[in-house]
Amino acid sequence: MMARMSVCHSSRSIISHRGFNYMNEAEELTDADLIKAVNELKQQIKITNLENDILERTIMRLDPTLMNNIQQAIDYASKLASSPSIGGSFMRSQTSKFDFSQSKILSSPSRASTRRVESSAKIGGTTVFGTGTRINVMARSELVNTEMETLMQKLLNTRKKAAKQHAMLKAQLEEIELRVEDIEKASAAFNQEVIVDGWDKLAQRIPAEIWIRYMTECMKISDSQIGKLRLRTSTLNTQYAKFKGQIKVKAELNDKLRPVDFDKIKIENQEALAIIDQKSNQLEELKKMTGEANLNLTVHKKAMWAQNSYLATLIDTIKTKERQAKVIDKERDVIQVQADDLAARLTEVKKVRIAYEVPDIMDYVAVKAALGDLQKGTKLLENRLRIQHIALNSLQSKLRIMNA
């Protein structure tokens, strides 16, 4: 606003000094020069409006009482611009007021608080309006930066409040949607169970028992849900108190801890990581040794099973030969036939022995696991059948009581 009045005064001073020569020069300007001058004036007006806005914000932020005489001064300045016949006594009185206001603005608690530029111009022993204390470029820059920081802080606060309000509204919308969904489900269930299924065609009405039973079931479901929600609320409150205590402890530690403590913890962590790596390497070595031992054990087991099977085959063959030797003494006539049969059987035994393989233990384990799963499934089915029998018996007893 001070800049606005200084522009008004400068325009009036130019007109008073040049008089009709200025009008003659304006008439001699070309169209391009006039357009250029108009554009410059528009740009200057835009800059002046911005400066006025910044100054007004600064005055309102620092001392709003200084704005009491600003509007009156603007009105008088507009009157001066419209009627040059008004004397200069008011200009001198208002100049002193603006000098006082500007000195207060420059002495405000900002980064330009120590900068004050005073310039006064006297023409013919009288103080010219608008030529008192002025704000230089650096002071204007400091004012603009201060206002920008204030606006940015206000913007951040507004964004935070808007984010909180948005989250609150979103939560309320979600709650309302859940309530609407529950109401719709309850309404559909009520219509289906009470109005549609509970309608008595003979009596042409809805029995009171159906209504009471439906309300009782709804109350039971509500009580169970309320109990779950109370348990969840208590759990959340416990977690909140726990987290609050942790935050308090962390804040106290943040005040008490020093960088040396963090360095100490870092060194201890590095030592612990080195020990963990060492133990991990040892564990890997032990795993390798265990795997090799298991492999050797498996190989020896297979060899032992093969020897046992071969030994059993040999024992069976020896017993057979002993029986055959006893039979040979009694049956000398059929010895050739029996010898051929024995040779064939020996061949078969050799083939079986060559083709015989020890069964894998993992197949047995898989079959055993499948058998255990089947047994578990059988037990579960039996339990379900028993529970269903109990429920059926209870329902039958209820039906008997209701029929009685």
Query: What is the average pLDDT across 221-240?
Result: 92
Structure tokens of 13? 């001073």
Structure tokens of 185? 């489900």
114 pLDDT band (50/70/90 cuts)? very low
pTM of the model: 0.36
Structure tokens of 70? 């600003």
Which are the contacts of 3, defined by CB distance < 8 A and separation ≥ 6? Answer: 48, 51, 52, 55
pLDDT of residue 83: 61
pLDDT of residue 289: 92
- Does 115 score more than 80 pLDDT? no
- Does 21 score more than 60 pLDDT? no
Query: What is the average pLDDT across 11-38?
Result: 58
Short-list 369, 254, 356, CA closest to 312: 356
285 pLDDT band (50/70/90 cuts)? very high
pLDDT tens digits, residue range 247-281?
888 888 777 777 787 788 889 999 999 999 999 99
Of 4-13, 167-176, 224-233, which gets the smallest average pLDDT? Answer: 4-13
Radius of gyration of the chain (CA): 53
Q: What b-and-e string marks burial along 360-397, b requiring 16 or more CB atoms within 10 Å of the CB?
A: eeeeeeeeeeeeeeeeeeeeeeeeeeeeeeeeeeeeee
pLDDT of residue 81: 64
pLDDT of residue 272: 93
Choice between 140 and 229, residue whose per-residue pLDDT is larger: 229
Which are the contacts of 302, defined by CB distance < 8 A and separation ≥ 6? Answer: 358
Query: What is the average pLDDT across 11-39?
Result: 60
pLDDT of residue 126: 34
pLDDT of residue 193: 83
Of 23-32, 51-60, 194-203, 317-326, which gets the smallest average pLDDT? Answer: 23-32
- Does 131 score more than 80 pLDDT? no
**Helix pair 70-82, 89-106: axis angle to 10 deg:** 140
Whole-angstrom distance, CA of residue 235 vs CA of residue 231 = 6
Mean predicted lDDT score pLDDT of the chain? 77
pLDDT tens digits, residue range 333-388?
766 777 788 888 888 888 887 876 666 788 778 888 888 889 998 999 999 899 99
Choice between 155 and 201, residue whose per-residue pLDDT is larger: 155
pLDDT of residue 235: 93
Q: Report how far Cα 223 is from the mean position of its chain's Cα atoms.
A: 33
- Percent of residues, the chain, with pLDDT higher than 70: 77
- Does 201 score more than 90 pLDDT? no
Short-list 140, 139, 141, CA closest to 112: 139
Paired strand residues for 122: 127
Whole-angstrom distance, CA of residue 95 vs CA of residue 83 = 19
100 pLDDT band (50/70/90 cuts)? very low
Burial class of residue 3, CB neighbours in 10 A (0-12, 13-18, 19+): buried
Looking at this protein, which amino acid is placed at residue 174? E
pLDDT of residue 133: 52
Whole-angstrom distance, CA of residue 195 vs CA of residue 217 = 16
Whole-angstrom distance, CA of residue 180 vs CA of residue 178 = 5
Q: What b-and-e string marks burial along 21-44, b requiring 16 or more CB atoms within 10 Å of the CB?
A: eeeeeeeeeeeeeeeeeeeeeeee
pLDDT tens digits, residue range 152-177?
998 999 999 999 999 999 999 999 99
Does residue 207 sit in helix, strand or coil? coil
Does residue 93 sit in helix, strand or coil? helix
Q: What b-and-e string marks burial along 130-168, b requiring 16 or more CB atoms within 10 Å of the CB?
A: bbbbbbeeebbebbeebbeeeeeeeeeeeeeeeeeeeee
Residue 133 sits at φ, ψ, to 5 deg, of: -65, 130
Structure tokens of 224? 């169970």
Whole-angstrom distance, CA of residue 75 vs CA of residue 19 = 25
